Amino acid sequence: MRKVRFLLVLMAVLMVGGPLAVEVSPAAADEAPATAAIDIDALRSMVDDLVAGSFGDKMTAVRDLADSGDDRAIPVLEAFLNGALYTRATDGRVVIGERRGRGLLLRDALTLEELEVVPTTAVNRVAINNRLRGMVRTALGSLTLMSPNTERRRQAAHAVFRARSADAEPLLQEALAIETEPSVRRRMERALAAIHLVHGTETEQRVAALEVLGRVSDREVRTLVASVLIQDSDGNPVEADDAVRAAAADALASIDGRLALWGFAVNVFQGVSLGSVLLLAAFGLAITFGVMGVINMAHGEMVMLGAYTTFLVQQAFRMWAPDAFDYSLAVALPAAFLVAGAFGIAIERGIIRFLYGRPLETLLATWGLSLILQQLVRTVFGSSNVEVGNPSWMSGAVEIAGGFALTYNRIWIIVFSLMVFAMLLVVMRHTGFGLRMRAVTQNRQMAASMGIRTGRIDALTFGLGSGVAGLAGVALSQIDNVSPNLGQGYIIDSFMVVVFGGVGNLWGTFVGAFTLGIVNKFIEPYAGAVLAKILVLVAIILFIQKRPRGLFALRGRAVEN
Amino acid sequence: MTVGGPLTRLLLGSPGGLVLVVVTLAAAVLVPVLHLTQPPGSPFFVPTWLVSLLGKYLCYALLALAVDLIWGFCGILSLGHGAFFALGGYAMGMHLMRQVGDRGVYGHPVLPDFMVFLNWNELPWYWLGFDSFPFAMLMVLLVPGALAFVFGFLAFRSRVSGVYFSIISQAMTFALMLAFFRSDMGFGGNNGLTDFKELLGFDLQAVETRLGLFSASCVALALGYLVSRFIVTSRLGKVLVAVRDAESRTRFIGYRVEYYKLFVFVVSAMMAGVAGALYVPQVGIINPSEFAPAFSIEVVVWVAVGGRGTLYGAALGAGLVNYGKTYLTAAMPEVWLFALGALFILVTLFLPKGIVGTLGGMGDRFRRPAAERRAIALRAAEGQRAAE
């Protein structure tokens, strides 16, 4: 019971941990209403200057557009910056072009109304140079820094940080003075500090800027601060000011320290994520191996069947209920459990029960079965990947500090694996089926003499193990490519989990999966993914020297043979 | 069975084995002679492609023999024997690479092409010595042998057996496959070693060289069979069978089970290494896919089809299954995996003794007196009850 409580606490921590981080939704926040600060003809004349005027006119036009504060100026400037602003050859109308096959879809530059699709020869691109680019970036920054839309302001602050143009400073100060949203404020302060650092002339101001920057954990900021310490080819520092260099070194050390901490946290997260995937894939193996002493080499294919069931369920949703797509996984889970479970029972009744007492032969027969299932799926669905979508609540990521992001699908899979684990624990400990299953695991003959129908238990156990593998397939379809080889990629790793954790005890699988996952992810940065895997395999081979039957081994005479 | 001198026991004890030795040795002489003397149109002419194909089968047969030696007689199911095969192959491939000399695409006098491509300046230390043929041949035996020794020592000492051993051996070959896929390992990465030119001064593309390699494979298979047969008919072989049938009991009697297992495992790995070394010059390439766990399991099914614990049956099974593979992958490629999968299931369910065992069993039934047959049936029924 203590273990169950620990699990609940763990889940609670995970649930609470989520909302603490800043949320970044992939769908941009709702469009802000256009602020019609200025009438459209005035804007048009500015745009005309931008297109046709002299270089000086263009600069003025950019500045005027920025000063207008009108939202409609944003797409024009963006298109100008990206080289998507054109004049139509026939009438000289200023348009924004968007690729459509070989041609361009033209939109009016200000109203954005769709005009026509023309070949690229029918328009002339409005030229831009680097100086103008800098100005446009700043102008865009000013148009967006004061936008009523929080998300746009945040992006704008980031854009200013990247451009670090001195022109943006007064604007940024102005924006900062009225900004109330803390997360946007932080970004603006960061941008301001960057400008001060790069363009400032007084030592004090630049040192203060470095102090601000030193409090941020972000890779881009780190690059900026590190650039202060660059040396030229003779080994002399490029930055002449000693005080600034010292402050930069301090800031860099503080950033690096925090980045390392975040990197550590992210490693743990990725390890836990890999562990949860291994856990889901290994549950079924551990159950069938523990109860029946049978190695099911077709286990990976049960996972694959679960993933393909998800695909079919999603296809059905796409066809008949595209609006309810977000609920497709709720249907896919029981469906995958039933499909894989039914296959499992069929395999047990059709093949495995004839091979009891011959574990090595069972291994070969189930391997043959896995070849057949793979080829069957390949014949029916083709050998390329099928498309399984993420529901909206599983896409996107939570950004934590330092530019690290945790994707929602990974977080959900961790939660899901813990739920499956808890469910299995309940089934094993608190149901009659679980009781009989454990009895058969510990002593088959004795259980049989007590009136347990061991054959039936075997079939149901196999069904349960396979069904859980099907659930794993649903989870894996959300983070991996769904192809006929899906199961093969996980089978050896799940074997290692079972060998490491020991059989007949779900806690062994639990500890084994998370240990292997975390160890793998911690070796990876130093040794690379492949070498990490090799090292883990070697470590397991050495580990079983000490514990030949895994971490949580069953004991007793019944185990020996 | 009359017990005569050791040679009689070796050869006459198993008629099927005798046939195997005679056929392979005859093929070693006849195939080259027929190829060189008969005109291409003659029904007795053996075309070059067939020589290469048969040579490949012979190497597979030797590998299957190695697996049967440990699985059939000692109960060790290795799902990683492809690793020893591939290591022997790589040792041979490294020698062949060194023989290329400056005829590579980049024309470097010492370094193989892929090292020049990776901007390496000198040979890694583990490539030294492979320009010498005797050294390379020694490595063909020693490298798989050493790996089998270390791996087997660790596994058998801690009494890892049964399916645990199978899975760990599968992990071993999987790890090696991942390792050899890495370019910076110095074994050619993905592409492996290929574009060989000559062996001992003979052009590998020449028909005569191919015939020579074919004969060598025949002789190697016959020798491999005799060595295995010698081991299993010796007193040591009896202990091995005892280990297979009742490991704990053998240990309690006082035998150091792990040393017997280790010995036969290392011998088997060396045989697999020789098979790999003969295989590489005949197919002209060695790459990490030979380490794939799927290949190792396929080898086991060859043995199962032919008949586990019969030695010559394993060789027969390797030939039959690979003929089926050659035929089906050409005629109906999508059917091959279905057929292979079905073969795994059907053989384990309905032909547990394999082709040779089943046919031999039928023969025995006519020869054995009725009383003995009854005793066997009784024992089988008991065993059945015990298993349930």
Which of B77, B147, B153, B158 has the most A C-beta neighbours within 10 Å, making it the best mutation to test the interface with A? B158
Rounded CA separation B52/B61 (Å): 14
* 8 Å CB contact between A365 and B345: yes
Give the closest-approach CA distance of A290 to chain B in angstroms. 12
Rounded CA separation A117/A100 (Å): 7
Which of A488, A491, A495 has the most B C-beta neighbours within 10 Å, making it the best mutation to test the interface with B? A495
Q: Where residue B142 falls among pLDDT bands split at 50, 70, 90?
A: very high
Residue A316: name the closest of A332, A296, A339, A304 by CA. A332
- Average pLDDT of chain A is 79
CB contact under 8 A, B340 and A371: yes
SS3 of residue B128 by DSSP: coil
* 8 Å CB contact between B192 and A524: no
User: What's the confidence (pLDDT) of residue A468?
Assistant: 92
Query: Please, which residues bridge with residue A114 across strands?
Result: A107
Query: How does pLDDT run across B279-301, given as a tens digit for each residue?
Result: 999 888 888 988 988 899 999 98
Q: What share of chain A in percent tops pLDDT 90?
A: 9
DSSP states of A241-284: -HHHHHHHHHHHHHHHHHHHHHHHHHHHHHHHHHHHHHHHHHHH
Which of B156, B299, B337, B340 has the most A C-beta neighbours within 10 Å, making it the best mutation to test the interface with A? B337
Structure tokens at B116: 């020049």
User: What's the confidence (pLDDT) of residue A32?
Assistant: 41
Of B167, B300, B344, the CB nearest to A499: B167
Rounded CA separation B321/B78 (Å): 19
User: What's the confidence (pLDDT) of residue B278?
Assistant: 92
Q: Where residue A27 falls among pLDDT bands split at 50, 70, 90?
A: very low
Give the closest-approach CA distance of A264 to chain B in angstroms. 26
CB contact under 8 A, B344 and A368: yes
CB contact under 8 A, A360 and B172: no
Of the candidate ranges A300-309, A324-333, A547-556, B73-82, the one whose mean pLDDT is the lowest:
A547-556
B193 phi, psi to nearest 5 deg: -110, 130
Rounded to 5°, angle at Cα B71 from B65 and B73? 90
Rounded CA separation A307/A473 (Å): 4
Q: Where residue A535 falls among pLDDT bands split at 50, 70, 90?
A: confident
Rounded CA separation A530/B175 (Å): 9
* 8 Å CB contact between A424 and A438: no
Structure tokens at A360: 């090595």
CB contact under 8 A, A372 and B342: yes
How is residue A390 annotated by DSSP?
P
Which amino acid, B281?
A: P
CB contact under 8 A, B77 and A363: yes
Query: How does pLDDT run across A133-181, given as a tens digit for each residue?
Result: 878 877 777 777 777 777 777 777 777 777 777 777 777 777 778 777 7
Chain A residue closest in CA terms to B183: A530
CB-based contact (8 Å) between B150 and chain A? no
Q: Taking the C-alpha atoms of A455, A458, A459 and A461 in order, what is their torsion angle to the nearest 10 degrees?
A: 150
Rounded CA separation A353/A349 (Å): 6
* 8 Å CB contact between B11 and B21: yes
CB contact under 8 A, A548 and B340: no
Mean pLDDT to the nearest integer, A37-45: 74
Rounded to 5°, angle at Cα A419 from A418 and A421? 65
A164 phi, psi to nearest 5 deg: 50, 45
Residue B81: name the closest of B204, B207, B172, B201 by CA. B172
Rounded CA separation A413/A282 (Å): 14
Of A360, A375, A534, the CB nearest to B338: A375
CB contact under 8 A, A362 and B348: yes
Cα torsion B199, B204, B208, B212: sign: positive
User: What's the confidence (pLDDT) of residue A558?
Assistant: 47
Going from N- to C-terminal start, the domains of chain B cover 15-290
User: What's the confidence (pLDDT) of residue B296?
Assistant: 92
Residues of B in contact with A541 (CB under 8 A): 151, 154-155, 168, 171-172
- Angle A55-68/A73-82 helices, nearest 10 degrees? 140
Rounded CA separation A385/B362 (Å): 49
User: What's the confidence (pLDDT) of residue A54?
Assistant: 78
pTM of structure? 0.75
Which of A537, A542, A546 has the most B C-beta neighbours within 10 Å, making it the best mutation to test the interface with B? A537
Rounded CA separation A511/A543 (Å): 14
Residues of B in contact with A358 (CB under 8 A): 348, 352
CB contact under 8 A, A369 and B345: yes
- Average pLDDT of chain B is 84
CB contact under 8 A, A533 and B175: yes
Mean pLDDT to the nearest integer, B328-357: 85
DSSP states of B6-31: HHHHHHHT-HHHHHHHHHHHHHHHHH
Mean pLDDT to the nearest integer, B85-105: 86
CB contact under 8 A, A371 and B162: no
Residues of B in contact with A532 (CB under 8 A): none
Strand arrangement of the beta sheet that strand A123-125 belongs to? A114-118, A103-108, A94-100, A85-88, A123-125
Rounded to 5°, angle at Cα B325 from A382 and B84? 100
Give the closest-approach CA distance of B166 to chain A in angstroms. 8
Structure tokens at B64: 């299957």
User: What's the confidence (pLDDT) of residue A555?
Assistant: 57
Which of B71, B147, B150, B348 has the most A C-beta neighbours within 10 Å, making it the best mutation to test the interface with A? B348
Rounded to 5°, angle at Cα A253 from A247 and A258? 130
Rounded CA separation B330/B53 (Å): 14
User: What's the confidence (pLDDT) of residue B149?
Assistant: 94
Of A360, A378, A379, the CB nearest to B163: A360
User: What's the confidence (pLDDT) of residue B2?
Assistant: 45
**Taking CB atoms and an 8 Å cut-off, how many pairs form between chains A and B?**
123
The single residue listed with the structure tokens 């390496």 is B120
Of B158, B182, B352, the CB nearest to A361: B352
Query: How does pLDDT run across A413-454, given as a tens digit for each residue?
Result: 899 999 999 999 899 889 999 899 888 887 888 888 988 898
Q: Where residue B366 falls among pLDDT bands split at 50, 70, 90?
A: low
* 8 Å CB contact between B91 and B136: yes
User: What's the confidence (pLDDT) of residue A119?
Assistant: 82
Highest mean pLDDT among A277-281, A452-456, B139-143: B139-143
Of the candidate ranges A46-55, B6-15, B17-26, B191-200, the one whose mean pLDDT is the lowest:
B6-15
Q: Is the pLDDT of residue A17 over 80?
A: no
CB contact under 8 A, A534 and B178: yes
Cβ count near B37 (within 10 Å): 10
* 8 Å CB contact between B74 and B250: no
* 8 Å CB contact between A314 and A328: yes
Going from N- to C-terminal start, the domains of chain A cover 40-131, 292-438+452-481, 487-554
Mean pLDDT to the nearest integer, A442-468: 88
CB contact under 8 A, B349 and A499: no
Tell which wins on pLDDT, B137 or A236.
Answer: B137
Rounded CA separation B167/A294 (Å): 12
Rounded to 5°, angle at Cα B90 from B84 and B93? 145
Structure ipTM: 0.83
Rounded CA separation B266/B141 (Å): 10
Q: Is the pLDDT of residue A533 over 50?
A: yes
Chain A residue closest in CA terms to B152: A541
CB contact under 8 A, A375 and B174: no
Residue A446, C-beta contacts closer than 8 angstroms, at least 6 positions apart: A439
Residue A75: name the closest of A37, A20, A127, A34 by CA. A34
CB-based contact (8 Å) between B48 and chain A? no
User: What's the confidence (pLDDT) of residue A37?
Assistant: 53
Beta strand segments in A63-108, E: 85-88, 94-100, 103-108
CB contact under 8 A, B178 and A368: no
Distance of CA A96 to CAs A113, A114, A204, B111, Å?
10, 9, 46, 57
Of A365, A376, A531, the CB nearest to B349: A365
* 8 Å CB contact between B286 and B91: no
Query: How does pLDDT run across A330-384, given as a tens digit for each residue?
Result: 889 999 999 999 999 999 888 888 887 788 888 889 889 999 999 999 889 888 8
CB contact under 8 A, A359 and B162: yes
Highest mean pLDDT among A26-30, B173-177, B261-265: B261-265
A118: enclosing H helix or E strand = strand A114-118
Mean pLDDT to the nearest integer, A116-137: 81
Q: Is the pLDDT of residue A33 over 70?
A: no
Residue A470, C-beta contacts closer than 8 angstroms, at least 6 positions apart: A302, A303, A305, A306, A309, A336, A337, A338, A339, A340, A341
3-state helix, strand, coil in chain A (%, to 5): 70, 5, 20
CB contact under 8 A, A369 and B344: yes
* 8 Å CB contact between A286 and A294: no
Q: Which of residues 260-299 of B touch A (CB under 8 A)?
A: 293, 297
Residue A356: name the closest of B278, B307, B348 by CA. B348
